[in-house]
Amino acid sequence: MAGLGARSVLVTGANRGIGLELVRQLLGKPDPPQWVFACSREPDGERGQELRNLASRHPNVVMIKLDATSPASVKDAAGCVEDHLKGSGLNLLINNAGIYKEVDLEAVDLEDMINKYKTNVVGPLLVSQAALNMLTECQAMSYKEDGILCTMIHPGWVKTDMGGQEADVTVDESVRGILSVLSTLSNEHSGAFFDWKGKKLPW
């Protein structure tokens, strides 16, 4: 992905925390993407305000409603993205949406476990599947030699709603690190796990 230089990027959970900062920093790059698909559960709701403000200043931001746990919502979102891309394919998918709640082993209940699994495991798979279908279309249009590079990046312990104020990394630092790591990746890194500083982590 040398130099990032992605033409189209989709970020899930883009209305706050790391996702919102990813959108902000992508837009601030000297070579910003032509399209940034900023996905959130409630783009018109109260928690979408900061993203709406950002989108109002950047016509290349497309706000998209997406609940990663709902196959119907993912399908609708993929349809909107495809309408914008007009067959040119998505270059970069950032599966950022996630949930975390600290609970004791004795206190955790079934609903809580299922909800975490749905959001943090099934959600990214559903979104990746929809993105893969778009890539398949794009491959059919003569990009056959292009591979798919898939990596996981740990953002650090970040000062967001999730990480809390006692976390040791600011959202700005973390996202700068993530984007810098992304820009150094190539096929040899496929399947690898890095932290936000670019250190390879064991699976």
Ligand X SMILES: NC(=O)c1ccc[n+]([C@@H]2O[C@H](COP(=O)([O-])OP(=O)(O)OC[C@H]3O[C@@H](n4cnc5c(N)ncnc54)[C@H](OP(=O)(O)O)[C@@H]3O)[C@@H](O)[C@H]2O)c1
**Minimal distance, residue 88 CB to ligand X, in Å:** 25
Rounded distance, CA 182 to CA 195, Å? Answer: 11
The one segment of 78-86, 151-159, 181-189, 192-200 that binds ligand X by CB under 6 A: 151-159
Per CB under 6 A, 18 contacts ligand X: yes
Q: Please name the residue ranges forming H helices in 58-122.
A: 71-85, 110-117
Per CB under 6 A, 17 contacts ligand X: yes
Per CB under 6 A, 96 contacts ligand X: yes
Per CB under 6 A, 33 contacts ligand X: no
Q: Are 160 and 182 in contact (CB under 8 A)?
A: no
Rounded distance, CA 32 to CA 112, Å? Answer: 38
Cβ within 8 Å of residue 177, ≥6 positions away: 155, 156, 195, 196, 197, 198
The one segment of 14-22, 83-91, 128-136, 138-146 that binds ligand X by CB under 6 A: 14-22
Q: Which of residues 33, 43, 123, 177 is near ligand X by CB under 6 A?
A: 123
Rounded distance, CA 89 to CA 73, Å? Answer: 19
Query: 35-40 and 92-94: which strand pairing?
Result: unpaired
Q: How many CB atoms lie within 10 A of CB 10?
A: 30
For residues 170-199, which are near ligand X according to CB under 6 A?
A: none
Per CB under 6 A, 43 contacts ligand X: no
**Minimal distance, residue 121 CB to ligand X, in Å:** 11
Residues 58-77: x/- map of binding to ligand X (CB under 6 A)?
Answer: --------xxxx--------
If the CB atoms of residues 8 and 40 are measured against ligand X, the closer one turns out to be 40
The separation between the first and the last C-alpha atoms of the chain, rounded to the nearest angstrom, is 22
The one segment of 30-38, 76-84, 94-102, 185-193 that binds ligand X by CB under 6 A: 94-102
**Minimal distance, residue 189 CB to ligand X, in Å:** 19
Cβ within 8 Å of residue 127, ≥6 positions away: 10, 12, 66, 68, 74, 93, 95
Per CB under 6 A, 119 contacts ligand X: yes
- List residues binding ligand X (CB under 6 A): 12-13, 15-19, 40-42, 47, 66-69, 96-100, 119, 123, 155, 157-158, 160-163, 167
